[in-house]
Structure 1
Amino acid sequence: MDVALICVSHEIGDSHRRAAADTYRDIVIGEGAWIGARSTVLQGVRIGGGAIIGAGSLVNRDCEPNCLYAGVPARLIKKLD
């Protein structure tokens, strides 16, 4: 619910135009992963299968399979069975 998957960003430009050339990178979400409501996943991130992303999290780095991540930015909370 209301999850944002952000696959586009931009390079940092000079002082006349900070938002320079667009960049595009895929997001990969593994089988059985669960992404909580109102989370944001940024470009280039891989979320491993069976991972859980807590509601309201900002995922800016890869997440291992079968682990719980939460927070802003998301961090490893615990490994799951």
Structure 2
Amino acid sequence: MASSRMFMIIAIVAVFLPSILATEHVGKTFYVGDTLVFKYTAGAHNVLRVDGTGFQECKAADDIVPLTTGNDVIPLSTPGNKWLHLWCGQTL
């Protein structure tokens, strides 16, 4: 009986722990000199630099070269909006 309860507690923790540890970043302000690092499984995702329209429409121009290393570093060397999109399950 005790082992069933322990199993149930472990199962509940396993389901809810990832959402408890998750962090949501809304309205984050970055500064010139900061870097953005995208870490992901290479081959499963990629990062594309897009413009505001491409970001809103989830489309990239045909001549965009994707970043695909799984450890892509984007230095912020100039002020202004930067539009990046992490594409999942799609390689270009």
What TM-score do you get using the length of structure 2 for normalisation? 0.19
- Comparing both chains, which one has the higher relative contact order based on Cα–Cα distances under 8 Å and sequence gaps of 6 or more? 2
Rg larger in 1 or in 2?
2
- Structure with the higher fraction of residues in helix conformation: 2
- Structure with the higher fraction of residues in strand conformation: 1
